[in-house]
Chains A and B, each alone.
Chain A
């Protein structure tokens, strides 16, 4: 069975500071990892994915994530947070079934 853990319900950061949203996963075989963002009363928007290749993946809106196989992690990062980044962030993983499993979500709050 595959699973995703997002250990933080909420992350608070000041605008202009770097941000990290944590994600660890468990899956059989090679993982396909994703980050999505959800704004209030909206669907999910794709941010970035890791399939293979470079461990550092760059995505939309200046976000990036680093795949760490030994730590089974795929933390989302951004060098300088914006107030408009405030949203709900979901990490997801698929394995051989190609049916993604989502984490519980982390609410990111960026303070002016």
Chain B
């Protein structure tokens, strides 16, 4: 099946610093990638949808300047958490939809656990 690689899997940073998380589709072209945030024992909260070569579409309540998303190529999307604070600590998961994948099936990365001290 299609593989999505997410890196890093765990990151610890100091408050005020920025952290970048990468999401790569390894064996397919992902025209659309989604970024989710998951709190403990809760469902996935869609943060934004990114399409290759265009600006990301953010969900209501998600700060664009806080969570910078770039989808520069058909195989890479990045999420940068800027000026991180402890409340940004969470599990972030990316997923990708392949080109021509019009049934909505998503391929997920393994997630990145961010801890802000």
| Residue interface bits B101-117, CB-to-A below 8 A is 1, else 0 | 01111111111010000
Beta-carbon contact of A99 and B34 below 8 Å: yes
Beta-carbon contact of A46 and B43 below 8 Å: no
Chain A's interface size range is: 20 to 34
Residues of A within 8 A of B104 (CB): 32, 34, 92, 94, 98-100
In the bound complex, how far is the Cα of B95 from the Cα of A89, in angstroms?
16
Secondary structure type dominating chain A contacts = strand
B contacts, CB < 8 Å to A: 1, 4, 6, 34, 41-44, 46, 49, 91, 93, 95, 97, 102-111, 113
Q: Give 16 A-B pairs besides A44-B44, A44-B106 with Cβ atoms closer than 8 angstroms.
A: A32-B104, A42-B110, A43-B6, A43-B95, A44-B95, A44-B108, A45-B108, A46-B1, A46-B106, A90-B43, A92-B106, A94-B103, A99-B104, A100-B106, A102-B43, A103-B43
